[in-house]
Structure 1
Amino acid sequence: MNTTDNLIPRPSHVALVDGSAFTLAPAARIAANGSAVPVAEQLASLLRGATGFELPIVEDTRPGDISLELTDTFDGGPEAYALSVTVGGAGLTASTAAGLFNGVQTLRQLFPAAIEGSNPGVGTWVIPAVEIADAPRFAYRGLMLDVARSFFTVEEVKEQIDVMTQFKLNALHLHLTDDQAWRIEIHDSGSAGNPSWLPYANLTAIGGQGAVEVPTARPARGREGFYTQQDFKDIQAYAASKNVLVVPEIDLPGHVNAALAAIPQLNPDGQAKPMSTTAEVGWSTLNSDLPATYEFVREVLGQLAAITVGPYLHIGGDEALVTGHENYVTMVQEFARIAAGTGKTVVGWNEYSAGALPHGAVIQFWHGDLAPVVQQAESGGSPVIMSPAANTYLDQKYAPDSPVGLEWVEGGPFTWAEYYNWDPAQGGLKDHQILGVEGPLWTETVRDNQQAQWLLYPRAISLAEVAWSGQEVRNAGDFRRRLGALGERLASQGVAFQEAPDVEWSATSNWPFPDATPSFPSKYGTIEA
């Protein structure tokens, strides 16, 4: 079976063509001009590690080269690409650098799995002759990393970006604040912009030292830390180089105990709350009657918007269980207005659609009744990010005895299949109303990148195909086979992944975490190829 049969996500069109395969030779070059050069440099860096070839970047092309071409005449959308491989070379064409980047991810999967290693000279670098035309089903294909419950360093976030992008995932939602911690620096402003003298520096001085504690997690306490504003810019710059949009979230008006502990004026009695380490949710709230509430939100969202490159600003809105309904609606409507006033498109969890939202505000559906979300999409022009918990929540356990993960979502335990066997266009939603798909990873029990990866993969790969590939080209049995073939690539990259027992893996995960992969019977043995 050739490598075209193992591509993930499944491209829109793949056709083997008559003729000999292309062999990447030591004298090969990569041809690119203008905005295509940075993508060509990334491809060259990837290929050099395993091949040991020089692979210089040049402007012209000759037989035996790989070429990357940007052209205004290419039709198919901003992330579409075409890939043509013959005995004489491989050529990628797109209208944007994002399209070329996506094509490079397909091209790397056409090489033998050893291309992911770093031992030069061990492989023969042959690609089958093929024509591929490809474009995504949805524009937004994301993961969410909860850095509030347990902190991830800048380098760890970059490592997560490196893994996710090979599957054409292009959005990283950072959950920056919660009851347990505050992870983004907010500068103290002068008295003119701070009439209540709110001590913004305390958000990280106090809130940055917080973390969740769960006795069964390993270790029990999450990690402390925060991002400076420069750190956040650094993450975004790296993400942009990998075609990833960063979406920051400040969760409001619930999930705010870290803010209440850092800024006394946000409490009706003027007394700072104690920091909390509990994993319980829904018990904290801002106060709709305090002017300081709106002053605080205006300053925080304003500073965050000013350093956010992308178009989206997420304001949370979920699980405000102790906030009275009228107060909740009052606050989320005003917070959404403030966010929109920064020039960003506001995003919130689906509860916030109870209020009147700015036109075009994005609703992220995770739980509850989908009907109001569909209505808002139809009448209010609100695009929807689909994150239904039972199909996308990547923190859920693989098995009841798993040491990592949660199990509150009905229908578990969950492996790759629940994340593959669903259609985002459900409940009356049409494709044009769906911005995309996102898989959230909440970190109550996650303490490092390996634990995170083990929960993410292979389930995030399922979501990547759901978000990219058309419903008509997807097949669960075939996907299961392709997952198995992917094991060697993931292992070569050092990625921790859960070895689903109903998948025939080409390699095992090199993760030494004790009891990381419990033995449990497969629920999916009847899936047909």
Structure 2
Amino acid sequence: MTIPELEDLLQISKRVGKQCFNAASCLVSQLGRKGKTRVSLFIGVFQSLSLVFCFSFSVYIIVKWRHSDSNTHNRNAALIFDTDLDFSRKALTQRDLDYFAKNIQLNFTVLENSFFKKKLFEAEILLTNKGVKPFPPYGWEIIFSQPALVEPNSYPYPGGVEKPNYGVRFHFLMGNVYKMSPLKGFGTIRPGKSKFIRYINEHSNVAVTDVHPNWYFVSPDLEPRIIENTRGDSLDFVTPYKTPAMWKRNTNTEDPDFDIMNPFSAAKRYRVHKVEDLGAAQHLVIPTPLSIQTYNKQSAVNVLTNSWVIFAAPRLANEGKFLSDIWGMTMVLKAQDSHYIQFLEEKVELSLAGRALPIEENYELRVTPTNNIITIKASHPAGAFYAIQTLLSLIDKDGSIPETVISDGPRYKYRGVLIDVARNFHSKEKIFRYLDVMAMYKLNKLHFHLTDDEGWRLAIPGLEELTEIGASRCHDPTETKCLLPFLGSGPFSGPPGTGFYTVEDYRDILRYAAARHIEVIPEIDLPGHSHAAIKSMLARFKKMEMLNVTEATRYLLNDLQDQSDYLSVQSFADDAMNPCLRSTYTFISRVINALYAMHRDISPLRMFHFGGDEVPAGTWQKSPVCERLKLSGVTTDLKTYMVTQIANMTSLYNLDLAAWEDGITFEGKPMKRDNFPNKNIYVYAWNNVWEWGTHKHAYEFANSGYKVILTPATNLYFDHPYEPDPMESGLYWATRYSDTKKVFVTLPENLYMNADTYRSGREINICEGGNTEEDCPRLEKPDNIEGIQGSLFGELLRSQAITDYMLLPKMLALAERAWHEAYWEKETDKVKLQEGMNEDWTKFANTLGHKELARLDRLGYKYRIPPPGAIVDGKVLKTTVEFPGLGVEFSDNGGETWRWVISGETEVENGKNLILRTRSPFGTRYSRQITLFEDYNQASPSSLASLMYVAMGVNFTLLANFLNGVY
């Protein structure tokens, strides 16, 4: 910006103001370097009070400067100047909105976490006009979603919270959805110019995936339009996280919880993942069989020659057919002399550490080359099916299977995976894919998270509103035709925000799972996490109330007079079903009955999982219906009352009951088991964040007579990232990262030994030395540990590719721990335990890299390929990869060409220019690229954002037309 240009602008201001210009201020600062100076100006106009015919201006002057060769934002500059009078305030047309959606570029930047040393972060929205038309300061609003509560210190703000310095108002709509509206002082954004808006948010934002896509414009009477550069899953509109202030949750070095985590450098990854390459897979099968009596690679059969056939005992005929379909073999009614696979129904009794293994899943497999016979023995179809999976793992690409005798069975009856389709929907065909890979690795429970605040995904006959409204997300602030566009799903109905399973779809999933001996456990999450159900039944009520009030209220889930004030963890203020309404239980009964009918003739419903987790504090406190219930003589707390009602209801169907641990907790302790009539109650123990003191819950429930499914969030929540890197997808509330090894080394029956670090990354030791039995109760009833589960919640799972990435290869490590008890798990000496873990991990990692990942490749699964670690020793490039057997490539010309790395032999001239990546077994996919010498540990947290906030916090209206580009 030159001085003549500035004078021209002042003249324009005078003309526009009808000869009104009260005062102008211009401050020029210079800082020379090598004779070069860049002038940086902020100019504003003070509000004129003396001239009544003048329009109002607000003033703000800040001067910043930068060297001509500096790239740092804290010395950048802008000239800020504004007038709204270029526009007559006519309504925008659809053509206008379409144009601005394409030509207004939106960028999101995290400025600082631990803002003012609090659990807050400051973010910036930058709007840049890439078109040729001025962007008006009125007639539009921007709808967006983000997980963090906007301006939490001002919540609740029913009329919105104003940010006068930036000329905008933020509105909380519900959950993670917000609206940003321009105020009078917003100003016009002229072509080529920009405007920034800064605002405060709850908690932290340390990863690109903390920002949701598909921000969109709305305008009265017009169709919404997605801001084009925010569309889709690339998240390119998010500024890279390049400083500790951006990637650390807590940047306050004086705080004991200061975040010591940094993204892994190539050198750090080289140390962390330095696994010896043993040259070949070390395990014949994953999960590892209980006993391998014989294995002789020198003697083998080949099942792809000589017309092999299959003979199966009647009870095992389906399993024989399953294998015949894969290998193209003929089923015969009796065995022939040779070249056949026989399925024999015989008991296979096995034990582990004196405990009998579940006989239904045991099997024996014999591969006998002398007479070319393969024999599978099992007493139950499930055991025969698992023998098939072992056989499929043993065969090589030429059809050869070595001489083998294996006796095998699982350590746990329950080997599960949770897949969340409520947050983002996955079609039944996608679920089939995950059932296939679960079956490959002998996992047998699909915990199907069908409902949540953001979606209801299963048709319930007679309650069509659940899927008409609760299964659809679009732009509808009233939520009468669809839910809000939670999780960045955008303004239009469509996947992944919209979708549901018809009754027949769901039954198809049940059939597919049953054929693979996988039990589907449907979860209907209540009373919390029920926004979708509540809104659906409220819409039903409004549709019917004028015709038949009794029928309208039959399935109502909320007290219409309830004035309770609460906010859930996910920022919902209306997501808790009311336990005091009779209609709530009518609704639950209707759903249970529908599920029971869907399962009956395929895979009978065995348990009802009602969720029960994260019910917000303050719910129902001002509900008149609940007040009347208490006056009627109900003395138990409402939570216990509701669980008891559900338990009684499910017992009528002879169903077991299941819930998350907090669903059956009262005042921090398990509810009395005797209160509930169900034969079994399964508690899913998840909340073990070490510093929260909740690590003991799993054992407390087991000792209290509950059946426990272990799914500790620190180790087995697959929605957490593989590395503490801003580019890695994942949530991080339980632990900053959880990689495949962390899943592998999980100790299900020695949970306290899993404690490794606080969320900050500092090392932690719990339940050692002076801890009491109250702090760290012992597991007194190990038989009540029913199994383990990996849980993949779906807030970020907007595509099949990212779902594959988060699920695999972690699922393989889960399968190993669920099926096989490692020799080192009982070790009490920490040094010996670590040695055993590392030795076993080396074998497992080599098996993945040299064998299993290639199997997944052939089947089309887009598992995560880990980036390499690397150092340069002299001129020699040394690399490592988490799963030995995967190749590493490097480029020294910016990625134009790539070459193989032979670790310890490849010489490089200039390591500073190197980019590296890991390659999949068949060279069709690659890891994210890394640079060799980026050292994340050298940077220090910046206080710039805090200083700027002080400056910008002056009570003036910030004039918002950026005439000098980026600030």
1:22 corresponds to: 301
Q: Name the CA distance, whole Å, in 2 between partners of 1:222 and 1:403.
A: 21
1:445 corresponds to: 796
1:376 corresponds to: 701
Q: Name the CA distance, whole Å, in 1 between partners of 2:433 and 2:534.
A: 32
Amino acid of the structure 2 residue aligned with 1:405: G
Amino acid of the structure 1 residue aligned with 2:426: F
Cα–Cα, structure 1 residues 224 and 26, in superposed 2: closer, same or farther, change >3 Å? farther
Of 353, 360, 365, which aligns to 1:83?
365
Cα–Cα, structure 1 residues 520 and 266, in superposed 2: closer, same or farther, change >3 Å? farther
Corresponding position: 1:504 with 2:815: no
1:296 Cα deviation after fit: 1.6
Q: Tell me the number of residue pairs that the alignment of Structure 1 and Structure 2 aligns.
A: 485
In the TM superposition, what are the counterparts of 1:101-116 in structure 2 within 5 Å? Answer: 101-112=385-396, 114=397
2:464 corresponds to: 201
Q: Name the CA distance, whole Å, in 2 between partners of 1:101 and 1:225.
A: 33
Cα–Cα, structure 1 residues 282 and 454, in superposed 2: closer, same or farther, change >3 Å? farther
Amino acid of the structure 2 residue aligned with 1:495: Y
Of 214, 239, 244, which aligns to 2:487?
214
Q: Name the CA distance, whole Å, in 2 between partners of 1:282 and 1:498.
A: 36
1:281 Cα deviation after fit: 6.3
**Contact in 2 for aligned 1:279/1:444 (Cα 8 Å):** no
Corresponding position: 1:332 with 2:332: no
1:60 corresponds to: 335
**Contact in 1 for aligned 2:595/2:605 (Cα 8 Å):** no
Identity level (%) = 28
1:12 corresponds to: 290
2:616 corresponds to: 321
Cα–Cα, structure 1 residues 100 and 499, in superposed 2: closer, same or farther, change >3 Å? same
Moved more, 246-255 or 75-84: 75-84
Measured against aligned partners, the alpha-carbon deviations of 1:439-484 in whole angstroms (never above 9, x if no partner) come to 1111111123222111111101100010000232782221111111
1:360 corresponds to: 680
Cα–Cα, structure 1 residues 406 and 17, in superposed 2: closer, same or farther, change >3 Å? closer
In the TM superposition, what are the counterparts of 1:453-492 in structure 2 within 5 Å? Answer: 453-472=804-823, 475-484=840-849, 485-492=851-858
Corresponding position: 1:162 with 2:436: yes
1:350 corresponds to: 661
TM-score normalised to the size of structure 1?
Answer: 0.84
**Contact in 2 for aligned 1:350/1:363 (Cα 8 Å):** yes
Aligned with 1:165: secondary structure?
helix
Moved more, 244-253 or 337-346: 337-346
Q: Name the CA distance, whole Å, in 2 between partners of 1:11 and 1:282.
A: 49
Q: Name the CA distance, whole Å, in 1 between partners of 2:927 and 2:570.
A: 22
1:424 corresponds to: 748
Q: Name the CA distance, whole Å, in 2 between partners of 1:508 and 1:313.
A: 41
1:527 corresponds to: none
1:149 corresponds to: 423
Cα–Cα, structure 1 residues 56 and 341, in superposed 2: closer, same or farther, change >3 Å? closer
1:32 Cα deviation after fit: 1.2
1:56 Cα deviation after fit: 4.3
**Contact in 2 for aligned 1:282/1:319 (Cα 8 Å):** no
Aligned with 1:263: secondary structure?
helix
Q: Name the CA distance, whole Å, in 1 between partners of 2:574 and 2:730.
A: 22
Q: Name the CA distance, whole Å, in 2 between partners of 1:383 and 1:127.
A: 40
1:402 corresponds to: 727
Q: CA RMSD in A?
A: 3.0
1:191 corresponds to: none
1:30 Cα deviation after fit: 1.6
In the TM superposition, what are the counterparts of 1:259-338 in structure 2 within 5 Å? Answer: 259-264=533-538, 265-269=556-560, 280=571, 284-308=575-599, 309-322=604-617, 323=619, 326-338=637-649
1:98 corresponds to: 382
Aligned with 1:78: secondary structure?
helix
More helix by share: 1
Amino acid of the structure 1 residue aligned with 2:726: D
Q: Name the CA distance, whole Å, in 1 between partners of 2:572 and 2:413.
A: 31
Q: Name the CA distance, whole Å, in 2 between partners of 1:141 and 1:520.
A: 39
Q: Name the CA distance, whole Å, in 1 between partners of 2:344 and 2:363.
A: 10
1:44 corresponds to: 324
Aligned with 2:349: secondary structure?
coil
Measured against aligned partners, the alpha-carbon deviations of 1:388-412 in whole angstroms (never above 9, x if no partner) come to 01111111112333363222222x3
Aligned with 1:187: secondary structure?
coil
Corresponding position: 1:69 with 2:344: yes
Q: Name the CA distance, whole Å, in 2 between partners of 1:509 and 1:125.
A: 20
1:36 Cα deviation after fit: 1.5
**Contact in 2 for aligned 1:495/1:509 (Cα 8 Å):** no
Cα–Cα, structure 1 residues 402 and 386, in superposed 2: closer, same or farther, change >3 Å? same
Q: Name the CA distance, whole Å, in 2 between partners of 1:82 and 1:477.
A: 28
Cα–Cα, structure 1 residues 179 and 516, in superposed 2: closer, same or farther, change >3 Å? farther
TM-score normalised to the size of structure 2?
Answer: 0.47
1:17 Cα deviation after fit: 4.9
**Contact in 1 for aligned 2:698/2:710 (Cα 8 Å):** no
Amino acid of the structure 2 residue aligned with 1:440: S
Aligned with 1:367: secondary structure?
coil
**Contact in 2 for aligned 1:216/1:403 (Cα 8 Å):** no
Amino acid of the structure 2 residue aligned with 1:163: V
Could you list the runs of 4 or more consecutive aligned residues of structure 1 that deviate by over 6 angstroms after TM superposition? Answer: 1-4, 509-513
1:196 corresponds to: none
Cα–Cα, structure 1 residues 364 and 107, in superposed 2: closer, same or farther, change >3 Å? same
Q: Name the CA distance, whole Å, in 2 between partners of 1:130 and 1:32.
A: 20
Measured against aligned partners, the alpha-carbon deviations of 1:40-99 in whole angstroms (never above 9, x if no partner) come to 121122223xxxxx444443143222222112x432311000111121222111110000
1:356 Cα deviation after fit: 4.0
**Contact in 2 for aligned 1:364/1:386 (Cα 8 Å):** yes
Aligned with 1:21: secondary structure?
strand
Corresponding position: 1:34 with 2:304: no
Aligned with 2:823: secondary structure?
helix
Of 490, 502, 507, which aligns to 1:233?
507
**Contact in 2 for aligned 1:283/1:320 (Cα 8 Å):** no
Q: Name the CA distance, whole Å, in 1 between partners of 2:280 and 2:607.
A: 41
Q: Name the CA distance, whole Å, in 1 between partners of 2:720 and 2:931.
A: 15
**Contact in 1 for aligned 2:281/2:848 (Cα 8 Å):** no
**Contact in 2 for aligned 1:149/1:181 (Cα 8 Å):** yes
1:192 corresponds to: none
Determine which structure has more spread, i.e. the larger CA radius of gyration: 2
Q: Name the CA distance, whole Å, in 1 between partners of 2:574 and 2:922.
A: 40
Measured against aligned partners, the alpha-carbon deviations of 1:180-224 in whole angstroms (never above 9, x if no partner) come to 111111122xxxxxxxxxxx221111101137643599x998331
1:282 Cα deviation after fit: 8.2
Measured against aligned partners, the alpha-carbon deviations of 1:252-285 in whole angstroms (never above 9, x if no partner) come to 11000011101123221179xxxx9x96468621
Cα–Cα, structure 1 residues 283 and 517, in superposed 2: closer, same or farther, change >3 Å? farther
Moved more, 393-402 or 368-377: 368-377
